[in-house]
């Protein structure tokens, strides 16, 4: 089985270790992984900010960079959901690019979805003796549609105590440029999310989204709160 690895810009620039964890997990499952170093942002920040031409340019680049891919896997439900659900708004109906997108769309996967449903692998021999609480990112839950997949994978990790926080499905306050444009509202939402996580007694907040974790981590560091953040790929790859 072959797959192209798409590394979102947040992970590429801020959490490259998560990209390597994803690579280890896919190779453990016997996947022949290809990485195109020419890849860049999927265009979601530009699209969400109303810059349609810039977003279209990045969408065309993405399609060009992955034109020969059999399958595309990314450690982000946000980026994969955006590509799946919104690229068609940027492409001309009946164009070669739209045809290419329609062929590619069913073969773009978020990592936990791909592991559970396509590869049917849920155990990686991971050991993580810590109490963890889970953050359901808005994009993962509502745009991509995953909820049980990451929880199933975490339950297979030796020593991991998964404890659900109150109101786990509420937004962490990131929302892309929302945290910049509406800083005070965003901070209040982040504070509430952190309070719910702390109430569980967890040592870590885990998620599928590095962007959410970045937002939470910045709040935790600023307020010197002894709670850590971690991407699910980094937990699953601990023993690989």
* pLDDT tens track for 30-39: 999 999 999 9
Share of the chain above pLDDT 70, in %: 96
pLDDT at 26: 98
Residues 183 and 232 in one domain: yes
Is residue 97 situated within a structural domain? Answer: yes
Given 118, 146, 174, the domain boundary residue is 118
CA–CA dist 204, 220 (Å, integer) = 11
Confidence of residue 186 (pLDDT cuts 50, 70, 90): confident
- C-alpha dist (Å) from residue 131 to 114, 147, 215, 229: 25, 19, 21, 12
* pLDDT tens track for 61-86: 999 999 999 999 999 999 999 999 99
Confidence of residue 172 (pLDDT cuts 50, 70, 90): confident
CA–CA dist 145, 60 (Å, integer) = 25
Given 118, 145, 179, the domain boundary residue is 118
* pLDDT tens track for 83-106: 999 999 999 999 999 999 999 999
Residues written for the chain: 240
Is residue 212 situated within a structural domain? Answer: yes
Say if residue 181 is exposed, middle or buried (CB neighbours under 10 Å; 0-12, 13-18, 19+).
exposed
Whichever domain contains 223, its CATH number is: 3.40.50
CA–CA dist 10, 231 (Å, integer) = 12
Of 163, 139, 31, 138, the closest CA to residue 80 belongs to 139
pLDDT at 175: 64
Residues 70 and 28 in one domain: yes
Question: 164 pLDDT exceeds 90?
Answer: yes
Question: 179 pLDDT exceeds 70?
Answer: no
Is residue 125 situated within a structural domain? Answer: no
Given 95, 118, 141, the domain boundary residue is 118
CA–CA dist 188, 206 (Å, integer) = 20
Residues 101 and 147 in one domain: no
Strand ranges inside 50-177, DSSP E: 72-74, 108-110, 131-134, 161-162
Share of the chain above pLDDT 90, in %: 85
Element (H, E) at 65: helix 52-65
pLDDT at 188: 83
Question: What DSSP state is assigned to residue 165?
Answer: P
Residues 162 and 223 in one domain: yes
Higher pLDDT, 145 or 181: 145
Q: Residue 42: give the domain boundaries.
A: 2-118
Question: 182 pLDDT exceeds 80?
Answer: no
Residues 71 and 163 in one domain: no
């Amino acid at each position: 089985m072959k797959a192209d690895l798409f590394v979102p810009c947040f992970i590429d620039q801020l959490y490259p270790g998560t990209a390597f964890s994803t690579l280890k997990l896919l190779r453990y499952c016997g996947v022949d992984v290809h990485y195109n170093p020419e890849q860049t942002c999927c265009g979601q920040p530009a699209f969400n900010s109303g810059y349609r031409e810039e977003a279209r340019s990045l969408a065309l680049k993405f399609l060009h960079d992955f034109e020969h891919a059999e399958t595309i896997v990314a450690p982000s439900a946000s980026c994969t959901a955006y590509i799946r659900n919104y690229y068609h708004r940027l492409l001309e109906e009946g164009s070669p690019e739209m045809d290419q997108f329609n062929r590619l769309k069913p073969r773009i996967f978020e990592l936990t979805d791909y592991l559970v449903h396509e590869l049917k692998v849920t155990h990686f021999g991971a050991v993580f003796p810590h109490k963890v609480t889970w953050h359901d990112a808005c994009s993962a839950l509502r745009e991509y549609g995953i909820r049980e997949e990451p929880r199933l994978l975490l339950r297979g990790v030796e020593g991991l105590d998964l404890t659900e926080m109150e109101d786990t499905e509420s937004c962490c306050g990131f929302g892309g440029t929302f945290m910049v444009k509406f800083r005070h509202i965003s901070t209040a939402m982040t504070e509430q999310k952190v309070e719910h996580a702390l109430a569980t007694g967890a040592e870590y907040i885990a998620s599928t989204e590095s962007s959410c974790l970045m937002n939470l981590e910045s709040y935790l560091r600023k307020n010197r709160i002894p709670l850590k953040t971690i991407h699910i790929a980094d937990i699953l790859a601990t023993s690989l």
